[in-house]
Amino acid sequence: MNLKRVKLDLMLSLDKLLNGNLCSKQFKTALERSKGKVGIDLGANFGVYTELLAQHCDFVHAFEPEPNVVKKLKKTLADYKNVQIHEVAACTKDCKIKLFHRNEFNKHTLEGCQGSSTFSQKNNVNPEDYIFAQGINFLEFLENLDCEVGIIKMDIEGGEVDLLELMLERDDLLEKIDFIFVETHEKKIPNQLKRVRSLRAKALKLKRPRINLYWD
C-alpha cells in the first residue's frame, strides 16, 4: 500500500467535503472582503457573477472570448461603470485560439453557449464547430495590475489547469490575490484528472490566496 497516496487521497477527500460544500458561503465571504479591491471574472459568459463582483468590488475585469455571448454580456452590464469587458480568452500566452462550441450550440438562441472550450477533446463539444478568438497572457495582465485583487472567478472550460499551474509558481502574483474560485473540468476532460489532483494538493498548502477548486 502506498501510504503517501492514501494520505493524499484522504486530504483531498476532506478538502472536497469542506470546500465543495462551503463554496457558496466562501464566495459570499470573499465578496464582503473585496470592497475597495479589484474583481476578475474569467469566463464571464452572461455576467451573472460579474454583476455580483461589480456590486462589491471597486472595479471588475470580465473576460469572455465568445462573440455571440459578449453581446448579451454588454447588455447585462450596461449600467455598471466599474466593469471593463475584455473580449479575449485568458491564456498562458498571447495567441490565436480555436474556441470549440458545445454540441447543442445555437448562435441565434444562445442555447448551449456556456461551455465553449479551447479543448477539442472536451466530451461535450463538437470538434468540427469552432471559431478563432484572441487569447492573452493572463499572467502578464496580472503583473501589470497595480492593485490588490479581491477575487478571481475562473471558469474557462479546461484552460484553468495550464493557467493555474503557472500561477502557482509565481509568488509575486499570488501575494496580491485574496481568493480564487475555480471550476475544474476533469469529468469532461479526463486526462486532466491527475493534474487537477496535484493543483488541489498544492492549494491546500497555501495561506494566500485561498483557492477553492470546487466552483460549480
Residue 128 sits in which domain range?
48-75+87-145
**Interval 61-97: pLDDT, tens:** 999 999 989 999 999 999 999 999 999 999 999 999 9
Would you say residue 135 lies in a domain? yes
Would you say residue 189 lies in a domain? no
Q: Which three cell numbers stand for residue 150?
A: 479581491
Would you say residue 179 lies in a domain? no
Does pLDDT of 14 surpass 70? no
Would you say residue 70 lies in a domain? yes
Provide the phi-psi class of 157: left if phi over 0, else alpha when psi is between -120 and 50, else beta: left
Residue 109 pLDDT grade (very low, low, confident, very high; cuts 50, 70, 90): confident
Does pLDDT of 1 surpass 70? no
Does pLDDT of 19 surpass 80? no
Q: What's the structural domain count of the chain?
A: 1
Would you say residue 15 lies in a domain? no
Question: Quick one: which H or E segment has residue 135?
Answer: strand 125-137
Does pLDDT of 146 surpass 90? yes
| Full-model pTM | 0.90
Q: Map 20-39 to HEC letters.
A: HHCHHHHHHHHHHCCCCCEE
**Adjacent-strand bridge partners of 38:** 59, 149
Find the farthest-apart pair of alpha carbons in the chain and give their distance in angstroms, rounded: 58
* CA distances from residue 83 to 16, 50, 155 in whole angstroms, order as listed: 32, 8, 18
Single out the residue of 179, 205, 189 nearest to residue 11, CA to CA.
Answer: 205
Would you say residue 98 lies in a domain? yes
Number of Cβ atoms within 10 Å of the Cβ of 27: 18
Would you say residue 199 lies in a domain? no
Would you say residue 43 lies in a domain? no
